[in-house]
Amino acid sequence: MTADNTTVLGKAPAAFFSRRRRLNRNSLSSQILARFGSGILVLWAAVSLSFISLQLAPGDIVSLLIGEQLRTPEVEAAIRAEWGLDEPLLTQYFSYLSRILHGDFGRSYILQTDVSGLVLSQMLPTLKLTAAALAVAVVFAVASAVITAGKRLPRSIAGGIELILISTPTFWLGILLLFVFSFTLKLFPVSGDRDISALVLPALSLGLSLGAVIGQVLREGLERALEEPFALTVRSWGAGDIVLRLRHGLRHAALPAVTLTGWLIGNLLSGAVITEAVFGRPGLGRITVNAVLAHDLPVVLAVAVLSAFVYVVLSTLVDILYLLLDPRLRNDAREAGR
């Protein structure tokens, strides 16, 4: 074999693996784009459903949009012009889609204000609460699973605590936390959103029950992972039990828990409405309750569409996390596309 042949043979494996890496990157990119595409379709369906619900609601659309506001010819004319009610239904639909794409959710005739500005001003506190509750849920679930997996007594104790948290309504847990840590110990403020201390109890109230559900699934997955052959190999390298569980076991056990988290994200958004009311926090919960009680339909529709948007974004991120956690999903999708 000549030197030239040896050089060619040496370059062949490198070229093969380089091409395989490019295929993996292309496959991952295409799947991420597919997830975003499906998310856009879901969001379009949510916007279309809000329009259809408005059209099918009993009563006159003008009366629904006015709510409890005094009905005058001027207000009626403004609503008909704003919503294009004199136009054909298909024209109204595309006009509605165009307005939503431009962030225009109409006007609240009860509050006499722009709906988009009202809802967006209250979205940040709700997103802060949702993100903090999700962080609480993840930390609680990981700590519970890592500490108790495969250990009979700690597992039983953790299971009992998780069962209590799952069975306790969010508002009742919030009231209990307020009584202990705000009224009795005076460690946290009772209401408001002044600083990070005002976020602690609402996040615990909203996140602990979710963390209990995720923790049960994560513990079972971690126990199965610790029985796999790779666990014996890692132990033979001299790795400690905590290193095995955190660095190696969690990655194998995380996929079912991540899947469940994606399904439960909607619970965080709906639970935020009750939690904000219990703790007197600003946010979408308060304006949603007020809008429903006052029959302020433009605000209700705007909250519904924006909540769907947040849910779609978070669910899409969870779907992408699947692909990053488990390369087998990328490989299966690539094989299916051949």
The pLDDT tens digits along the chain (338 residues) read: 554 554 444 444 544 445 445 545 556 677 778 778 888 888 888 888 888 887 887 777 777 777 666 677 877 887 788 777 788 888 888 888 888 888 888 888 777 788 888 888 888 888 889 889 999 999 999 999 888 888 889 889 998 999 999 998 888 999 999 999 999 988 988 888 888 888 999 999 999 999 999 999 899 888 888 887 777 777 778 777 777 787 777 877 777 787 777 777 777 877 887 888 888 888 887 788 888 777 788 888 888 888 888 788 877 787 777 767 665 555 554 444 45
Q: Over the Cα atoms of the chain, what is R_g? A: 26
**311 residue type, one letter:** Y
Its pTM stands at: 0.74
CA–CA distance, 121 with 106 (Å, rounded to integer) = 15
Instruction: State how far the Cα of 247 lies from the Cα of 178, in Å rounded to an integer.
Output: 37
Distances (CA, A) of 271 to 62, 206, 265: 31, 7, 10
Say which amino acid occupies 147: I
In three-state secondary structure terms, 20 is: helix
Is residue 170 within 8 A of residue 209, CB to CB? The reply is: yes
The per-residue pLDDT for 112 is 79
Cα separations (Å) of 299 from 2, 48, 285, 296?
A: 78, 16, 12, 6
CB neighbourhood size of 70 (10 A): 7
Quickly list H helices, the chain: 3-56, 61-66, 73-83, 89-101, 115-148, 152-167, 170-177, 197-225, 229-236, 241-243, 250-279, 284-294, 297-325, 327-336
Pair of tokens at residue 231: 């666990």
Tell me, what DSSP letter sits at residue 153?
Answer: H
DSSP SS3 for 87: coil
Separation of alpha carbons 58 and 267, rounded Å: 29
- Show the tokens assigned to 252: 């194998």
* Phi, psi of 188, rounded to the nearest 5 degrees: -130, 155
